[in-house]
């Protein structure tokens, strides 16, 4: 059994002051094999917000999942088995739960309103 840090940061998203997310805890110490939940609180004027979770790997954000009020959301294949989030519009939260923690889960996680990252390009882009 190992204790290791599971880090996450908050991201301020949106062009208006009333559109933001907060992650009140910066560092989380967890036990391998156990579950943990990362908190994400948000403020928005939208009656139907879209919330996203990302994992930072090699200084690049990796899209994990999206939750919204009108669909079951979306979770990428890599994160389907052990990662889940439930959007609570009334409580203005979308906590991320990770089951059966592994050492490879140690990373920076952040939540966001709206899609802040849609694609990561490794080469130059060309206009058509």
Tens-digit pLDDT string for the chain (128 aa): 444 444 444 443 444 557 888 988 778 888 899 999 999 999 998 888 999 999 988 888 999 999 998 888 999 999 999 999 999 999 999 999 999 999 889 889 989 997 555 454 444 444 43
- Nearest 5 degrees, angle CA 86-CA 39-CA 14? 85
Question: pLDDT tens-digit profile of 83-97?
Answer: 999 999 999 999 999
Is 120 contained in some domain? no
Is 17 contained in some domain? yes
Q: Any bridge partners for residue 112, and if so which?
A: 52
What are the φ and ψ backbone dihedral angles of 46, each rounded to 5 degrees? Answer: -75, 135
* Beta carbons of 114 and 14 less than 8 angstroms apart: yes
Q: How many structural domains comprise the chain?
A: 1
Is 9 contained in some domain? yes
Q: What is the pLDDT of residue 72?
A: 86
* Beta carbons of 27 and 36 less than 8 angstroms apart: no
Is 91 contained in some domain? yes
Residues in the chain: 128
Q: Which domain holds residue 20?
A: 3-113
DSSP string, 90-123: TTTB--EEE-S--GGG-SEEEEEES-S-----SS
Is 71 contained in some domain? yes
Is 79 contained in some domain? yes
Q: Looking at residue 32, which CATH number applies to its domain?
A: 2.60.40.10
Q: What is the pLDDT of residue 4?
A: 46
């Amino acid at each position: 059994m190992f204790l290791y840090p599971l880090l996450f940061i908050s991201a301020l998203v949106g062009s208006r002051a009333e559109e933001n997310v907060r992650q009140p805890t910066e560092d989380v110490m967890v036990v391998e094999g156990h579950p943990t939940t990362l908190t994400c609180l948000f403020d928005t004027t939208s009656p139907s917000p879209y919330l996203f979770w990302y994992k930072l790997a090699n200084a690049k954000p990796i899209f994990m999942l999206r939750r919204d009020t009108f669909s079951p959301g979306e979770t990428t294949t890599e994160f389907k088995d052990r990662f889940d989030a439930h959007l609570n519009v009334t409580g203005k939260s979308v906590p991320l739960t990770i089951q059966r923690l592994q050492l490879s889960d140690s990373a920076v996680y952040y939540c966001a309103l709206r899609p802040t990252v849609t694609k990561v390009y490794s080469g130059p882009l060309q206009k058509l």
